[in-house]
C-alpha cells in the first residue's frame, strides 16, 4: 500500500507542469482539429522554437466542446488560480463574447505581426459583443446544403425552392433540429432570415429590440409544417451519416465537416454543396489566449505562426479545404490556382460573399432558439 502511495505521489509530480517551455493548446472541434495541432502546427512550432513542446487537448466537437473550455476558464477564475493551465484555446465564435466579458482573455492581436492581416468584421464582433484584439480567426466555416446529385439533379437554389422541393419529396430532406448541433441551428436561422417578417440585417447586427422577437410566428409555423415533412437526424454527424447511406437526399452541413468526412471515406465523393439564397450562417473558429496563460509570449508566437499566410495556405486550405481565417488575398498568394479553386468547387466566391451570413447576435439567437422550442418541437 505504501509503495503504491509513493508511486501515486511520484506520478502526480511527474505529471505536473514540468519544463517552462511547454505550450498547452486546448481545442474544441472534431478529432481532426486535435490532429491538426498535434501533427502539423505543433512540430512546425517546435522546429521554429527549439526547446519548446506543444501539447494539445481536445474537448469535443460543437458548442459542447467550447462550453467546456469556457467552464474551465470560469473554474480557474473563480478558484483564483494565478497561473492557468491553458496557453492557447481554439473556440467557437459564440463563446468568445462571454470569455471577453468575463475578463478571461488577453488582448494580443495588435501585438502579433499577423494581426493586420484580418479585416473581416467577425474578428471584431462576435454575435454582438466587441471582441477586437482578443481573437484571431483560425478558419471560417460555413453551413450549406449537401445533396446527392444522383437523387437531386437540380438542387434548390433558395429556401423558397427548398420548401417547394421538400413538399414534393417527403422525408428526403433531413436536418438535426436545434439540439443536436449547430448545422441544424444554422438551418433554422437561415429559415428565419428567409421567411421571418423582421429585418435579417438587424438580427445579425443589432440592436436588440423585444418587438423584433414577435415577428417570427409565421415563419416558425411554416417551419413546423416543413419539419413534419422532413427527416430528423441525430446530430451534425447524423445528417452526414444519413446522407452517406442514402436515406436523405439533401441536408444542412458544416462545409468543413463535409470535406473531412469525404476525405475520411465516410461520404461518397460525388456529393455536392449548394448555398441557398438568401443565405445561411457561418462562423469562425477563434484562437484566444487566456490573460493568465503562463507562457504569454510563446502563446502569441504560436498564434502568429498559425495565422501566417503560409500556414493558413498549407494547413487550412490545402490540408482541409477550409476557408482561411485571415484575409483571402494573403493566402491566395501562397497557393497555386488549382488548390485555391478547389475551395470554390461547389460554392462560388460570389455566392459566398452574397449568401454567407453571420449568426444572429446572441439575444436574438437565444430568442429564436427558444421560440423554436416552444413553437416547433412542442
Q: Which of residues 311-350 bind other proteins (CB under 8 A)?
A: none
Smallest separation (angstroms) from other proteins to the CB of 115: 26
Binding residue for other proteins, selected from 116, 130, 167, 245, defined by CB under 8 A: 245
Q: DSSP string covering 53-81, please? A: EEEEEE-BSHHHHHHHHHHHHHHHHHHT-
Binding residue for other proteins, selected from 42, 137, 198, 284, defined by CB under 8 A: 42
Smallest separation (angstroms) from other proteins to the CB of 202: 21
294 makes contact with other proteins (CB under 8 A): no
Residue 361 and residue 203 in contact, taking contact as beta carbons nearer than 8 Å = yes
Smallest separation (angstroms) from other proteins to the CB of 131: 16
Residue 85 and residue 52 in contact, taking contact as beta carbons nearer than 8 Å = no
Size of the site for other proteins (CB under 8 A): 79
The three three-digit cell numbers of residue 373, written as one number: 422550442
With CA atoms as reference, report the closest residue to 344 among 190, 142, 194, 158. Answer: 142
Other C-beta atoms lying within 10 Å of the C-beta of residue 294: 18
Q: Rounded to whole angstroms, how far apart are CA atoms 316 and 255? A: 13
* Residues 92-131 within binding reach of other proteins (CB under 8 A): 98
CA angle 31, 273, 341 (to 5 degrees): 85
Residue whose CB is less far from other proteins, 31 or 222: 31
Identify which range of 106-114, 179-187, 291-299, 319-327 contacts other proteins by CB under 8 A: 179-187
190 makes contact with other proteins (CB under 8 A): no
Smallest separation (angstroms) from other proteins to the CB of 81: 5
Q: Rounded to whole angstroms, how far apart are CA atoms 111 and 296? A: 11
Helical spans, DSSP H, in the chain: 2-15, 31-35, 42-48, 62-79, 93-101, 159-168, 182-195, 200-205, 217-228, 235-244, 255-263, 296-306, 309-311, 320, 328-332, 337-342, 349-355, 362-372
177 makes contact with other proteins (CB under 8 A): yes
Smallest separation (angstroms) from other proteins to the CB of 17: 6
Smallest separation (angstroms) from other proteins to the CB of 365: 8
Other C-beta atoms lying within 10 Å of the C-beta of residue 106: 17
Binding mask 194-233 for other proteins (x = CB under 8 A): -------------------------------------xxx
Binding residue for other proteins, selected from 29, 315, 325, 358, defined by CB under 8 A: 29
What are φ and ψ of residue 156, in 5° steps? -60, 135
Residue whose CB is less far from other proteins, 122 or 244: 244
Binding residue for other proteins, selected from 115, 128, 137, 180, defined by CB under 8 A: 180
237 makes contact with other proteins (CB under 8 A): yes
Smallest separation (angstroms) from other proteins to the CB of 137: 20
With CA atoms as reference, report the closest residue to 310 among 279, 294, 291, 332. Answer: 332
Identify which range of 112-120, 213-221, 265-273, 304-312 contacts other proteins by CB under 8 A: 265-273
**Residue the block writes with cell 436536418:** 175
72 makes contact with other proteins (CB under 8 A): yes
Q: Rounded to whole angstroms, how far apart are CA atoms 165 and 255? A: 22
26 makes contact with other proteins (CB under 8 A): yes
Amino acid at each position: 500500500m505504501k509503495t503504491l502511495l509513493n508511486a501515486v505521489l511520484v506520478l502526480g509530480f511527474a505529471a505536473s507542469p514540468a519544463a517552462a517551455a511547454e505550450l498547452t493548446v486546448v481545442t474544441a472541434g472534431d478529432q481532426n482539429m486535435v490532429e491538426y495541432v498535434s501533427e502539423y502546427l505543433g512540430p512546425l512550432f517546435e522546429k521554429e522554437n527549439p526547446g519548446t513542446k506543444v501539447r494539445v487537448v481536445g474537448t469535443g466537437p460543437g458548442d459542447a466542446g467550447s462550453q467546456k473550455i469556457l467552464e474551465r476558464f470560469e473554474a480557474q477564475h473563480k478558484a483564483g488560480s494565478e497561473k492557468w493551465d491553458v496557453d492557447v484555446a481554439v473556440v467557437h465564435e459564440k463563446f468568445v463574447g462571454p470569455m471577453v466579458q468575463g475578463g478571461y482573455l488577453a488582448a494580443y492581436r495588435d501585438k502579433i505581426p499577423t494581426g493586420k492581416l484580418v479585416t473581416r468584421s467577425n474578428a471584431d464582433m462576435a454575435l454582438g459583443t466587441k471582441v477586437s484584439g482578443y481573437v484571431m480567426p483560425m478558419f471560417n466555416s460555413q453551413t450549406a446544403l449537401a445533396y446527392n446529385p444522383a437523387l437531386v439533379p437540380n438542387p434548390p437554389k433558395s429556401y423558397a425552392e427548398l420548401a417547394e422541393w421538400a413538399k414534393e419529396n417527403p422525408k428526403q430532406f433531413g436536418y438535426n433540429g436545434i439540439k443536436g448541433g449547430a448545422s441544424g441551428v444554422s438551418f433554422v436561422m437561415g429559415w428565419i432570415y428567409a421567411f421571418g417578417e423582421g429585418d435579417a440585417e438587424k438580427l445579425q447586427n443589432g440592436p436588440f429590440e423585444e418587438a423584433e422577437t414577435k415577428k417570427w410566428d409565421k415563419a416558425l409555423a411554416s417551419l413546423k409544417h416543413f419539419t413534419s415533412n422532413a427527416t430528423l437526424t441525430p446530430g451534425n454527424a447524423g445528417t452526414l451519416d444519413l446522407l452517406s447511406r442514402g436515406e436523405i437526399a439533401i441536408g444542412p452541413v458544416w462545409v468543413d465537416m463535409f470535406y473531412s468526412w469525404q476525405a475520411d471515406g465516410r461520404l461518397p465523393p460525388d456529393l455536392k454543396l449548394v448555398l441557398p439564397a438568401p443565405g445561411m450562417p457561418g462562423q469562425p473558429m477563434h484562437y484566444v489566449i487566456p490573460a493568465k496563460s503562463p507562457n504569454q509570449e510563446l502563446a502569441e508566437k504560436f498564434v502568429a505562426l498559425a495565422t501566417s499566410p503560409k500556414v493558413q495556405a498549407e494547413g487550412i486550405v490545402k490540408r482541409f479545404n477550409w476557408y482561411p481565417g485571415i484575409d483571402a488575398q494573403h493566402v491566395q498568394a501562397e497557393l497555386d490556382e488549382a488548390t485555391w479553386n478547389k475551395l470554390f468547387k461547389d460554392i462560388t466566391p460570389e455566392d459566398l460573399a452574397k449568401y454567407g451570413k453571420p449568426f444572429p447576435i446572441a439575444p436574438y439567437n437565444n430568442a429564436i432558439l427558444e421560440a423554436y422550442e416552444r413553437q416547433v418541437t412542442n
